[in-house]
Amino acid sequence: MYKIIIDTKGSDKGPGVIVAGACQALDKFDNLEVVLVGDYDFIFDEVKRLGADLNRIEIINAPDEINNYDNPMTAVFEKPNSSLIVALDTYSKRDDICGMLNSGNTGALLMGSMRFLAGEKRMRPAMAAVMFNSSGTLTCVLDSGSVVDCNAETLVHYAHLGSELMKKMYGIENPRVALLSNGSEPTKGNKVVKEAHKLLAESELNFVGNVEGNTALGGACDVLVCDGFAGNLVLKVTEGTAKRLLTDIVKYAKKTGSQEAMQIFNHLMKAYDVASLGGGILLGISKTVIKTRGTADEKAIVSTTEMLLNMAQNKEVYDKEKLKEIL
């Protein structure tokens, strides 16, 4: 059995969605047990109402919540009874738990992780988003939105973390590392990126140079290094544009009455379904933590739980064969 701790609070959609997602995951994975942290009574009522297997559920009461308006730096000290802090504290102390899932304030999660699950270097953790690229392989984008002000050394640190992840989790022997910039030439980039380019070129990593936004997820690299501001932009602009084109296909279908347009829409939706991609992996800390987006629905909670299960079993996080089927 694999035990995963889930912070039920902090989500944009409320704790009900998180608890429901956890129950669906229990249904789907026989080898899963969950520790749910939040309002005891609420969680108890919900899991009972949903008919979940109570033998595989542990509930830990935490009355307080860290929300998106809380200051990450201070909240982790000022709210010791928040579900996030209680979950991190529990996770740090117990060896029977192999993964943690959170969908709240990213900054507070990072601060809290540093405090309770600090890695060897005690650096601020990075958040990696492992995504399907258009070549049908995987690209690890980091930092994907946690640390927005980075210096060149931090970017190099991220390159190492991402490289390590792609080696360990995905069996890629010599991961190709690229640096996100506004031009492919080494002279392109802001000050930090230009400096990072030099350092990466001198490093022992398999550095393949700069990539631009239009080719970043084209499959030319296994690890895409950037600061959290740029990483967030890459993920969100990708999402926004995909949504826009999909909406246009629906409009076209309505305008023309085309059945086939709706089939194409469904096909693409399946391929680009954000929820099925799971969450961001925190790197540079001592245990495995995955952060889903605040808007994560039940399905996203299930797929993120699957990611954690796979990571605990040292399995590949995504099923490549399944991917080939889709596209």
Residues engaged in binding a second copy (CB under 8 A): 68-69, 71, 134, 145, 148-149, 180-183, 185, 187, 189-191, 193, 212-218, 227-230, 232-249, 251-252, 258, 260-261, 264, 267-268, 271-272, 327
Nearer Cβ to a second copy, position 62 or 147?
147
Partners of 141 in the beta sheet? 129, 224
Nearer Cβ to a second copy, position 51 or 240?
240
How near is the Cβ of 257 to a second copy at its closest, in Å?
Answer: 11
Nearer Cβ to a second copy, position 63 or 183?
183
**Alpha-carbon dihedral sign for residues 40, 51, 296, 302:** positive
Nearer Cβ to a second copy, position 25 or 128?
128
Nearer Cβ to a second copy, position 40 or 252?
252
How near is the Cβ of 325 to a second copy at its closest, in Å?
Answer: 12
How near is the Cβ of 309 to a second copy at its closest, in Å?
Answer: 29
How near is the Cβ of 25 to a second copy at its closest, in Å?
Answer: 26
How near is the Cβ of 249 to a second copy at its closest, in Å?
Answer: 6
